[in-house]
Amino acid sequence: MRSLMSVAPGGPDTLQLLDVPVPEPGPGELRLAVRACAINYPDTLVIEDKYQIRPPRPFAPGHEVAGVVEALGPGVTGPAVGTRVIASAPHGGLAEKLIARAAHCTPLPDGLSFEVGASLLVTYGTSYHALADRARLRAGETLLVLGAAGGVGIAAIELGKAMGARVIAAASTEDKAAVARAHGADAAIVYPPAATDGKALAALFKDACGKGGADVIYDPVGGDYAEPALRAIAWGGRYLVIGFPAGIPRIPLNLTLLKGCDICGVFWGSFVEREPDKHRAQVQELLRMCLDGRIRPEVSARFPLEQGAEALKTLSGRKAIGKVVVTME
Ligand SMILES: NC(=O)c1ccc[n+]([C@@H]2O[C@H](COP(=O)([O-])OP(=O)(O)OC[C@H]3O[C@@H](n4cnc5c(N)ncnc54)[C@H](OP(=O)(O)O)[C@@H]3O)[C@@H](O)[C@H]2O)c1
């Protein structure tokens, strides 16, 4: 089978398309014929040894897939061979076959394509867990979403609206702001591509959120955007720490005292391991929401496996809108 593999630390151009033996599933596992693998920002980091998880090389990046069950490991009773499923795995998605834990596979309803299915689990799963469990977002509250046209950003807009919030989107270009509006944001602002003037940026966020400030801030960007955003939080607000494409920020803790606010870490992968029943219920709810149109994963770019490096470059180059997907058909 073909697999796009990281053989040495480096950027997307270091990935090699290799012919490797078809893997056999062990106990608790199954083998999928991968049809689509959605790219997430961590895929750009893990191949450079810059992510918290460092798989032994060679490995294929990619941890969010949709495909068809092809073989079951010893003792595994389902999903049955032939079932269309979505799955998450630590890595290995950029390949024609993937070994996944059976417990991490969910049947994909007929009405949803492989591309949409592959784009649902990590992105919408993270935003659902963040907004519902960590922020306890309530109807009528104001939600500020940074990086709002990215993968988790669009998911946060749509889920925030579905939960009844007023959603203010923020992104680095007018095109991205337009996408955020199209996905339901009540308003969208454009911030500069480099957050050098913290005071001006804080004023921009405060102005967009209005007098009370943002009850919840969803931050998948970090860097110099984080502190100006926190300065726009409401009394009793919740600041969601999602990710750091712009760098890991340092926050003056006196702000939390002055605002009476909470800074909440979000680690979806660990949540899935620690609270599997709750996670499974959330995935079922996301599939229902997708089928009835309350959420609409946006697949803006598709690449065949042999051009998988280009898919990763789209994210690392800050060019991705919604989801970028690699297809194996
Ligand atoms: N905590 C968790 O459990 C969890 C789960 C999934 C993902 N994440 C994290 O969430 C973040 C976003 O992931 P994603 O898959 O949604 O990525 P994405 O689609 O590439 O979105 C990231 C956004 O960050 C902004 N950005 C700012 N500086 C950037 C830079 N130097 N390079 C690239 N983007 C930059 C971009 O928006 P603007 O151009 O509009 O600023 C971009 O749309 C990542 O850090 C990822 O690790 C965390």
If 0-12 CB within 10 Å is exposed, 13-18 middle and 19+ buried, where does residue 236 land? exposed
Question: Do residues 168 and 187 touch, judged by C-beta distance below 8 A?
Answer: yes
| Residue labelled with tokens 């970090």 | 222
Query: According to the model, what pLDDT value does residue 329 have?
Result: 73
Nearest-CA residue for atom 9 of ligand 1 = 243
Tell me the per-residue pLDDT of 12-41, one tens digit each, with 9 for 90 and over.
Answer: 999 999 999 999 999 999 999 999 999 999
Is the CB of 243 inside a 6 Å radius of any atom of ligand 1? yes
Residue 250 C-alpha to ligand 1 middle, in angstroms?
A: 18
Residue 69 C-alpha to ligand 1 middle, in angstroms?
A: 30
Rounded CA-CA distance 59/92 in Å is: 6
Is the CB of 184 inside a 6 Å radius of any atom of ligand 1? no
Tell me the per-residue pLDDT of 188-228, one tens digit each, with 9 for 90 and over.
Answer: 999 999 988 999 999 999 999 999 999 999 999 999 999 99
| Residue labelled with tokens 């810059």 | 50
The dihedral sign for the CA sequence 52, 55, 58, 59: negative
* Ranges of the chain with pLDDT below 70: none
| The one-letter amino acid at 112 | L
Residue 287 C-alpha to ligand 1 middle, in angstroms?
A: 23
Is the CB of 308 inside a 6 Å radius of any atom of ligand 1? no
Nearest-CA residue for atom 45 of ligand 1 = 243
Tell me the per-residue pLDDT of 129-139, one tens digit each, with 9 for 90 and over.
Answer: 999 999 999 99
Q: Ligand 1: which atom is nearest the Cα of residue 152?
A: 16
Helices 121-128 and 276-291 cross at an angle (nearest 10°) of 110
Give all domains of the chain, ordered by start, each with its CATH number. Answer: 2-120+298-327 (3.90.180.10), 123-269 (3.40.50.720)
Residues 6 or more apart in contact with residue 140 via CB below 8 angstroms:
164, 165, 166
* pTM exceeds 0.85 for this model: yes
